[in-house]
Chain A
């Protein structure tokens, strides 16, 4: 019987500082056979652990179209993530997974895509964004609407610039609070609706961010004419095991780790609970 809780060592090949509290770690399994055979889908997550510190579920921010490594964009928020932030290039980290469902890909070929993200919520979306960019001709117009609290808290700054240069691709940025040197938009991400036309025709939207942002973005998308089944979002929830056993991430009869983390707005509306999903 497979021990699903057993993690495998990976080596940290590169660390990129995204913001003051967020880094992207590029890792590769040390076992070559495992590294070669490993597959994942856009939007899935893995359990990352440091023996002694603990384990935390982190979404994969790299695209499955780019082989040979995995990337995790991690904010130092709790005990485990703070310990991971102390690691250096060449150190080991332990992984198990991938877990959870994933964003649609084949189902949305030929469509216009609206990505709406807030803060570190861009990390799981980046997996799909780069997968789409690597298959750019299969998709129509793409808009990335991205907001952060401050300019310093925007992740993937180089890629935001690079995505902009791709034909039929727009990147719209906004920050809650401007600082020195910011000449861009100020306001929450839904304020971008004033600046750019959001057209639901033949379009899907993919949303991730802090709970309150997801709530307002989903409502705004719905208002703009998006059908609930065309609004995809990936949910955050306190998780331990990642495999539907520890119970922490349950909503109604679903486990976010196993039945999610990706849900349509339609599915979320069907939840009976009065809990604060957002």
Chain B
């Protein structure tokens, strides 16, 4: 919401951390946590990646940490729901479980991605609970960094009401003020983290409420792409609203690569398969990301495919996000991160779909 601060903070006075101290903080924290932070790689892409344990590698990685303007290629959902993950191991007629419980510090994610995480948390916690996701999310601390300007020109968080600053669900939130960050505390866990690493944080008696508010308003105004998100949800949740013509036109351009769904913070579908090494009598059951736009996603062993035509898969993709997720949970399955558009080889995105249905004109 415009210019508002976090509502569940006010635990203590606002803290400040100088930007120059961030690397030292991450280095200290990495002794206790698996630290995930955006890092710029040699090809120029920014990935939310884990800091290495090895001291030399750690120092190198810290040099590549990128907090501001970081446009991470994929959402951070893969920290809890990896692209490929072992579920079970088979060895000598025994089946071993492989959940993973490490303590994770997720440092420097965007408010839209936080919303995505909260969304997938809810999905995987619903009956039946998914032990692999749940175990990975159990011990985590999330530090959001608000966006002063949109990392992607396709961002539309102010329309989706997910940014550019988070209002809840974070443990700490950084507000960029030039040479330092104001640090908002969103939870007891966040406060404990500050207490644990006191030496990096400054406490000021000055009241910075107005300064923070101004930063947030300016950030809010920097998001240029606006769409009528609520109207799109209102339309889509009407049973009778099926924009078949739009789906069909998108299906003529879409190459069904699934990229938009891989980068999407709320896509949770997966495939399950086994690998087996007959010689060593060893194998594993794995799952990897899957996408509803693939032809084989719904093809049955008999050959029958309920979504044989491409446009039906396109319909599923948009209706799952905007119709059924919202209907079921009250949460939209789109968080306005704009990655679907920025990653699409043929320039199709959720924002354009929303514009098309709400403005009632052909855009795509």
Contact = CB atoms under 8 A, between A and B. Distances in A.
Contacts of A2: 129, 131
Contact of A52 (B274, B305, B315, B327): B274
Contact of A274 (B268, B287, B315): B315
A51 B95 contact: yes
A243 interface: yes
Interface string B203-236: 0000000000000000000000000000000000
Given A5-B88, A6-B97, A276-B308, A54 B128 contact: no
A77 interface: yes
Contact of A54 (B130, B132, B272, B328): B272
Interface stretch (A104-112, A152-160, A233-241): A233-241
A81 to B, nearest CB: 7
B134 A1 contact: yes
Interface string B263-306: 00000111111111010000101010010100001111110111
B304 A211 contact: yes
B312 A7 contact: no
Nearest to B242: A272
A250 B95 contact: no
Contacts of B129: 1-2, 4
A181 to B, nearest CB: 27
A275 B123 CA distance: 24
A248 B274 contact: no
Contacts of B274: 49, 51-55
Contact of B268 (A1, A210, A247): A247
B272 A246 contact: yes
Nearest to A243: B128
A89 to B, nearest CB: 18
B285 A51 contact: yes
A78 interface: yes
Contacts of A245: 123-124, 128, 130, 268, 270
A263 interface: no
B244 interface: yes
B27 interface: no
Interface residues of A, number: 42
B304 A247 contact: no
A122 to B, nearest CB: 16
Contacts of A243: 128
A91 to B, nearest CB: 11
A7 B96 CA distance: 10
B5 interface: no
A3 B131 contact: yes
Interface in A207-223: 210-211
A250 B328 CA distance: 13
Contacts of B292: 247
Contacts of B239: 272
B181 interface: no
A94 interface: yes
Interface residues of B, number: 56
B271 A246 contact: yes
B99 A247 contact: no
A240 B270 contact: yes
Contacts of B271: 240, 246, 248
Nearest to A249: B298
Contacts of A258: 128
B135 A1 contact: yes
A258 B283 CA distance: 29
B90 A77 contact: no
B272 A276 contact: no
A253 B273 CA distance: 25
Given A1-B135, A247-B292, A253 B324 contact: yes
Contact of A236 (B132, B300, B307): B300
Interface in A133-159: none
B307 A244 contact: no
B320 interface: yes
B87 interface: yes
Contacts of B328: 253
A253 B128 contact: no
A81 B298 contact: no
A37 interface: no
Contact of A253 (B135, B275, B297, B327): B327
Contacts of B304: 210-211, 236, 276
Interface string A64-78: 000000000000011
A253 B315 CA distance: 13
Contacts of A5: 87-88, 131-132, 285
A207 B87 CA distance: 36
A240 B131 CA distance: 16
Interface in B300-326: 300-302, 304-308, 312, 315-316, 319-320, 323-324
Most central of A49, A51, A248, A253 by chain B CB within 10 Å:
A51
Contacts of A238: 297-301
24 contacts: A1-B129, A3-B97, A49-B274, A51-B90, A51-B276, A54-B273, A54-B274, A55-B272, A55-B274, A78-B301, A210-B302, A238-B297, A238-B298, A241-B272, A244-B127, A247-B269, A248-B290, A253-B327, A272-B239, A274-B242, A274-B315, A275-B316, A276-B304, A276-B305
Given A51-B283, A53-B274, A241-B272, 11 more contacts: A49-B274, A51-B95, A52-B283, A55-B272, A55-B285, A241-B270, A243-B128, A245-B268, A251-B306, A273-B319, A276-B308
Interface of B: 87-88, 90, 93, 95, 97, 99, 123-124, 126-132, 134-135, 239, 242, 244, 268-276, 278, 283, 285, 287, 290, 292, 297-302, 304-308, 312, 315-316, 319-320, 323-324, 327-328
